[in-house]
Amino acid sequence: MAKYQKYAEYKASGVEWADTLPANWSSVHLKWISTIYAGGTPSKTIESYWENGVIPWINSGAVNQTYVLEPSTYISKAAYENSSAKWIPKNALVMALAGQGKTKGMVAQLGIDTTCNQSMAAILPNDLSYARFLFWWITANYQNIRNMSGGDLRDGLNLEHLGDIGCPLPSSEEVTTIASFLDHETTKIDTLIAKQEELIALLKEKRQAVISHAVTKGLNPNVPMKDSGVEWLGEVPEHWTVSKFGYISQVVRGGSPRPAGDPTLFNGDYSPWVTVAEITKDDELYLTSTDTFLTKKGSEQCRVFQTGTLLLSNSGATLGVPKILCINANANDGVVGFEELKIDTEYAYFYLSVLTNDLRERVKQGSGQPNLNTDIVKAITITLPPENEIKEIVEAIKKKIDHFSKLIASAENAIQLMQERRTALISAAVTGKIDVHDWQNPVKNNNQDNMELSA
């Protein structure tokens, strides 16, 4: 922020979420400068309300767009007339009022005229030219607004909460300039963040490609190859064998104590409790702790997997993710364990890690909860290099993973710093900590220069 000037004079803000404001600014509660109202949802039991609709309607998820250009769906005229849905004009703001996740308190500006559901509020400033500045003010105070109704708990916001939000009021000229400044600067930051996110995705793809090549083709590019007999696997080194997990291990499914939810079985402090969520929460090889535990009584009902056991998530949208246990633990029935594994555990882990998408495709079709039963898991093909080569492959993969992990960590750190700068910049601009009233949009100026040159 050092490159930006400050205002010459400041005063006590009169606004809860800002200590001071520039001396020439004023402040006011949102309810005195805007109209605030909730939307409505037509009856879901009347199908005709939701067929061949002509009136745009958005649900709470639309706030993730930040600038809404497409409705979530369309409702019929009859649906509009027989519900509390109300029109909201283009350029007004909408805010999500409810939800335990991140949605509550999020705000978006409308690029279309639309209606919305009852879990959203329309915020229509008396002067619509103030709307974009207000968008940035609300964005800067996202957590403060959530805290008005229980913070991150499920409690919802209401229209009274929104009306009580205190807002800075710069001059009309400053409102426009600050909004344009933040639109321009945050777009630049968002572009840089997107590039780093693309880099991370590319690095992860390359990491998977390196692992996949190592466990299916080996490290020696000149070794003679043979047909594996497995279509997706193709050729493998001639001296390797190909087997199935059912031939080299006992595939055992976890189990959950019954009855489910019994407090004498769950939420204890006796045995670590491995769920699918525990396995899939990160990309680490090893599982060293769990968030939840069973009681002694609950643990005695289920199999205990020993330290060093290879686990695999076998149900839900995140099935097919492996993890190696570093603790003795129970696991629920969404997890399978490979016991008495006759191959290096880390090698088997890396092999399974490149099959995740393939395993999901196998169970993608059909209805109901996706599930890898033990027969499917036993039938998974695995390459078996000689033992000394397996050690070399594992060490080579670890070395490559370490390299990629450092690059990914560097990109993630860059994203965090840019996000922090973005947050600080928004806050500084909407509270007048920096003076940008003389700022000029370089894009607009460049376009003007080009027009003059062409003339």
pLDDT tens digits for range 267-324: 899 999 999 989 988 888 999 999 999 999 999 998 899 999 999 998 877 889 999 9
Between these two residues, 450 and 141, which has the higher pLDDT value?
A: 141
Between these two residues, 178 and 359, which has the higher pLDDT value?
A: 178
* Adjacent-strand bridge partners of 11: 21
**Does residue 67 register a pLDDT over 80?**
yes
Q: Give me the CATH topology for the region 28-168.
A: Adenine-n6-DNA-methyltransferase TaqI; Chain A, domain 2 (3.90.220)
pLDDT in the model for residue 179:
97
**Does residue 31 register a pLDDT over 50?**
yes
pLDDT in the model for residue 3:
80
**Does residue 365 register a pLDDT over 70?**
no
Cβ contact 349:292 at 8 Å: no
Domains in the chain: boundaries:
28-168, 170-220+387-455, 241-384
DSSP state of 46: -
pLDDT in the model for residue 205:
95
The mean per-residue pLDDT over the stretch 416-426 comes to: 97
**Does residue 326 register a pLDDT over 70?**
yes
Q: Which residue has the tokens 């000029």?
A: 440
For 53, 164, 179, the CA distances from 228, given in Å and listed in that order, are 55, 69, 62
DSSP states along 340-367:
S-SS-HHHHHHHHHTSHHHHHHHTTSSS
**Does residue 155 register a pLDDT over 90?**
no
Tell me which range, 11-25, 252-266, 440-454, is most confidently predicted by mean pLDDT: 11-25
Between these two residues, 224 and 449, which has the higher pLDDT value?
A: 224
Structure tokens that stand for 363 in this block: 């169970």
Cβ contact 7:432 at 8 Å: yes
Q: With the CA atoms of 38, 44, 47 and 48 taken in that order, what torsion angle do they form, in degrees rounded to the nearest 10?
A: -20
367 confidence band (pLDDT: 50, 70, 90):
very low
105 SS3 class:
coil
pLDDT in the model for residue 361:
74
pLDDT in the model for residue 245:
96
Q: What angle do CA 251, 256, 260 make, to 5 degrees?
A: 160
The reply to whether 241-384 shares the fold of 28-168 is yes
What phi, psi does 51 have (nearest 5°)? -115, 135
Model confidence pLDDT, tens digit, residues 178-237? 999 999 999 999 999 999 999 999 999 999 999 999 999 999 999 999 999 998 899 999
pLDDT in the model for residue 455:
47
The mean per-residue pLDDT over the stretch 425-442 comes to: 93
The mean per-residue pLDDT over the stretch 11-37 comes to: 96
Q: What angle do CA 139, 141, 145 make, to 5 degrees?
A: 110
The mean per-residue pLDDT over the stretch 403-412 comes to: 97
**Does residue 450 register a pLDDT over 60?**
no
**Does residue 373 register a pLDDT over 60?**
yes
pLDDT in the model for residue 356:
84
How much of the chain, in percent, has pLDDT values that exceed 70? 94
- Among 140, 213, 204, 197, CA closest to 433: 140
Q: Is the dihedral of CA 297, 300, 303, 308 positive or negative?
A: positive
Q: Give me the CATH topology for the region 241-384.
A: Adenine-n6-DNA-methyltransferase TaqI; Chain A, domain 2 (3.90.220)
pLDDT in the model for residue 18:
95
**Does residue 63 register a pLDDT over 50?**
yes
**Does residue 445 register a pLDDT over 80?**
no
**Does residue 449 register a pLDDT over 60?**
no
The mean per-residue pLDDT over the stretch 13-23 comes to: 94
**Does residue 446 register a pLDDT over 90?**
no
**Does residue 453 register a pLDDT over 50?**
no
Cβ contact 86:42 at 8 Å: no
The mean per-residue pLDDT over the stretch 90-104 comes to: 90
